[in-house]
Amino acid sequence: MTMLNPKAEAVLRTNYQKSVAAYWNNNPNDDRVNTVLGEVDGLYHHHYGIGEPDLSVLEGPENTRQERIVEELHRLETAQADLLLDHLGDVRPGDRLMDGGSGRGGTSFMANQRFGCQVDGVTISEYQVGFANDQAQHRGVADKVRFHFRNMLDTGFDSGVMRGIWTNETTMYVDLFELFREFSRLLESGGRYVCITGCSNDVTGGRSSSVSWIDAHYGCMIHPRSEYFRAMAENDLVPIDVVDLTAATIPYWELRTKSELATGVEKPFLTSYREGSFQYLLIAADKVGR
Ligand SMILES: C[S@@+](CC[C@H](N)C(=O)[O-])C[C@H]1O[C@@H](n2cnc3c(N)ncnc32)[C@H](O)[C@@H]1O
Domain that holds residue 221: 6-287
**pLDDT, tens only, 157-194:** 999 999 999 999 999 999 999 999 999 999 999 999 99
pTM, two decimal places:
0.96
Helix boundaries (H) for the chain: 6-11, 15-25, 28-38, 65-86, 106-115, 126-139, 176-186, 209-218, 225-234, 246-256, 266-275
Q: Taking a C-beta distance cutoff of 8 angstroms, is the pair 149, 123 a contact?
A: yes
**pLDDT, tens only, 265-287:** 999 999 999 999 999 999 999 99
Q: What is the pLDDT of residue 30?
A: 62
Q: How confident is the model at residue 216 (pLDDT cuts 50, 70, 90)?
A: very high
The CATH number of residue 156's host domain is: 3.40.50.150
Task: Give the residue-averaged pLDDT of 100-117.
Answer: 98
Q: How confident is the model at residue 42 (pLDDT cuts 50, 70, 90)?
A: confident
Looking from the CA of residue 46, the nearest atom of ligand 1 is 9
Taking the C-alpha atoms of residue 196 and residue 47, their distance in angstroms, rounded to an integer, is 9
Hey, whose CA ends up nearest to atom 19 of ligand 1?
A: 151
Residue 281: is it exposed, middle or buried by C-beta count within 10 angstroms (0-12/13-18/19+)?
middle
Tell me how far the alpha carbon of residue 207 lies from the centroid of ligand 1, in angstroms: 23
What mean pLDDT is reported for the chain? 95
Residue 198: CB within 6 Å of ligand 1?
A: no
Residue 2 clears pLDDT 70, i.e. is over it: no
For the chain, what percent of residues have pLDDT higher than 70? 98
The answer to whether residue 194 is domain-embedded is yes
The answer to whether residue 215 is domain-embedded is yes
CA atoms within 13 A on the CB side of 46: 24
Residue 196: CB within 6 Å of ligand 1?
A: no
What DSSP character marks residue 260? T
Tell me how far the alpha carbon of residue 177 lies from the centroid of ligand 1, in angstroms: 17
Hey, whose CA ends up nearest to atom 2 of ligand 1?
A: 46
DSSP assignment of 6-28 equals HHHHHH--SHHHHHHHHHHHS-H
Task: Give the residue-averaged pLDDT of 253-257.
Answer: 97
The answer to whether residue 26 is domain-embedded is yes
Q: What is the pLDDT of residue 28?
A: 58
* Domains held by the chain: number: 1
Residue 126: CB within 6 Å of ligand 1?
A: no
Taking the C-alpha atoms of residue 179 and residue 195, their distance in angstroms, rounded to an integer, is 12
The answer to whether residue 121 is domain-embedded is yes
SS3 assignment, position 201: coil
- Alpha-carbon Rg for the chain, nearest whole angstrom, is 18
Residue 31: is it exposed, middle or buried by C-beta count within 10 angstroms (0-12/13-18/19+)?
middle
SS3 assignment, position 54: coil
The answer to whether residue 1 is domain-embedded is no
Q: What is the pLDDT of residue 5?
A: 87
Residue 102: CB within 6 Å of ligand 1?
A: yes
Q: How confident is the model at residue 238 (pLDDT cuts 50, 70, 90)?
A: very high
**pLDDT, tens only, 4-30:** 888 999 999 999 999 999 999 987 556
Q: What is the pLDDT of residue 278?
A: 98
Task: Give the residue-averaged pLDDT of 145-162.
Answer: 98
3-state SS string for 99-126: EECCCCCHHHHHHHHHHCCEEEEEECCH
